[in-house]
Amino acid sequence: MILAGLTLEELENLMSELGATRFRAKQIHNWIYAKSVSSIDEMTNLSKDFREQLKSIAAVTDTKIKVKQVSKDGTIKYLVEYPDGECVETVLMRFDNRANLTACVSSQVGCAVNCSFCATGKGGFRRNLNYKEIIEQVLTIQRDTGLKVTNIVFMGQGEPLLNLDNVLKALEIFNNDFQIGARRITISTSGIIPGINRLAEMDLQSTLAISLHAPGHDLRKQIMPIENKYPLNDLKKALLDYINKTGRRITIEYILIHGFNDTPQVAKELAYFLKDIKCNINLIPYNSVVENDFKKPANSDIMKFKYLLEHSGKKVTVRLERGADIDAACGQLRGRGK
C-alpha cells in the first residue's frame, strides 16, 4: 500500500485496522504532507516496532524522479516516473518578486487534444493519471526541494477536463491535506465544453483558465483541432454561462506566435471576442519547440498586442519566460527522457 494520497480519514481507518491510535494517523499525515518524507524510517516520532509493522504493509511512495533539470532562473523541471514506467513532467516555478512557489502539474500521460504548437500533443494520448499520481508530482517537488508548494496550475501535460474526476479529487486533497487554498489553484483547459459546464454547477473557488490562442474559428482550428469539436461560438456561450453561475472571473491564456496570431488586426478581433467576458488575459510569447516552425514574436509586437488589448479595458499580463535554458516547454523533457 502507498501512503501518499491517503486522506486523514483513510489513515485513521488504516490505524484502526492495525490496532494503533487515531493520533498515529495525524502524525503520519503530518510526515507525508507537511514534512514530505519519502520513507517510513524518517517518521522518527513513531516507535521503531510500529515503523517495522507499517513497513511490512506500506511504503510512502512508489514514484521516482527520472530526470531533473535546474534553470538559472530557479525553475526546476522534473520527469516523474510511475511504477508502470510511464512518465510525466512537473515544473516548479519561482518568481523573484514573490514568495509563491508554483507547481505546474500534469493530469494525463500524453494528450489526445493534439495542439500543433505542443510537444506533448505530438506523442498522442497514453493514459489518465489517477488522483494519487497527480498529487505525487507536488510531493515529489516538496521532497526534493524541502520547500512547500503554495500554488498549483494544471497546465502540464494532458487536458485536465478530460480527466476531471481525478483532477477534482486531487484538488480536494490539495485543499484539505496540503492546505493549499482553492484560490491558489488554476485549472487550464483547451475548451472542453462538457467539463466547463460541469464546473459551472460546482461551488469551486479555483480559477478556470482557457487556452484560447486565436479569436476566430478558421485561425484557431489551424493550431487547435479541438476547435472542430467545440467551436468558439459554443465555447463563448459556455464561458458566459460559467461566469454567470459562478460569479468568477476567468483567465484567458493566449500563446503569441510570430506572424500567425500576433498582428494588430488579430488583437482587435480578440478584444471584440472577449468584450463581454469577465476575464484577465495572460499573453505567453511562444517558447520554441524543435519539431515545428513556430517562432517567438518580437518584443515590440508583444507590447503592441498588449497595448491594444489593454485599450479595450482588460487587465493583460505577459507571462515571464521561465526555464529558457532548460527543456521548459511542455513535453520537451518527456521527449528527452525516453
Provide φ and ψ at 265, rounded to 5°: -60, -45
- Please report whether residue 190 would count as binding ligand SF4 according to CB under 6 A: yes
Q: Does 5 bind ligand SF4 (CB under 6 A)?
A: no
Q: Per rule CB under 6 A, is residue 137 in the interface with ligand SF4?
A: no
Q: Does 316 bind ligand SF4 (CB under 6 A)?
A: no
Q: Which of 63, 157, 251, 261 binds ligand SF4 (CB under 6 A)?
A: 157
Contact 87, 147 (CB under 8 A): no
Identity of the residue, 101 or 209, whose beta carbon is nearer to ligand SF4 in the bound complex: 209
Of the residues 81, 89, 136, 253, only one is catalytic, namely 89
- Closest approach of ligand SF4 to the CB of residue 211, in Å: 6
Taking the C-alpha atoms of residue 320 and residue 77, their distance in angstroms, rounded to an integer, is 16
CA distance linking residue 260 with residue 264, whole number of Å: 11
Q: Which of 81, 159, 177, 301 binds ligand SF4 (CB under 6 A)?
A: 159
Beta bridge pairs of residue 152: 103, 185
> What b/e string do you get for 288-310 counting C-beta neighbours within 10 Å, with b at 16 or more?
bbeeeebebbeeebbebbbebbe
Whether 189 contacts 142, CB under 8 Å: no
104 catalytic residue (yes or no): no
The nearer residue to ligand SF4, 54 or 289, going by C-beta atoms, is 289
Question: Minimum distance between the CB of residue 195 and ligand SF4, rounded to whole angstroms?
Answer: 12
Q: What number of H helices and E strands is found in the chain? A: 13, 12
* 114 counts as binding ligand SF4 under rule CB under 6 A: yes
Residue 115 makes contact with ligand SF4 by CB under 6 A: yes
- Contact stretch for ligand SF4 (CB under 6 A) within 6-14, 110-118, 195-203, 321-329: 110-118
Q: Is 330 an annotated catalytic residue?
A: yes
Angle at 242 between CA 222 and CA 236, to 5 degrees: 30
- Helix pair angle (232-246, 193-200), 10° resolution: 10
Q: How many residues bind ligand SF4 (CB under 6 A)?
A: 12
**C-beta of 36 vs 108, nearer to ligand SF4:** 108
Please name the residue that has the C-alpha cell 534553470: 71
Q: Is residue 111 at the binding interface for ligand SF4, with CB under 6 A as the rule? A: yes
CA angle 202, 88, 337 (to 5 degrees): 165
The 264-303 site mask, x for binding ligand SF4 (CB under 6 A), equals: ----------------------------------------
Active site residues: 89, 330
Contacting residues toward ligand SF4, per CB under 6 A? 111, 113-115, 118, 120-121, 157-159, 190, 330
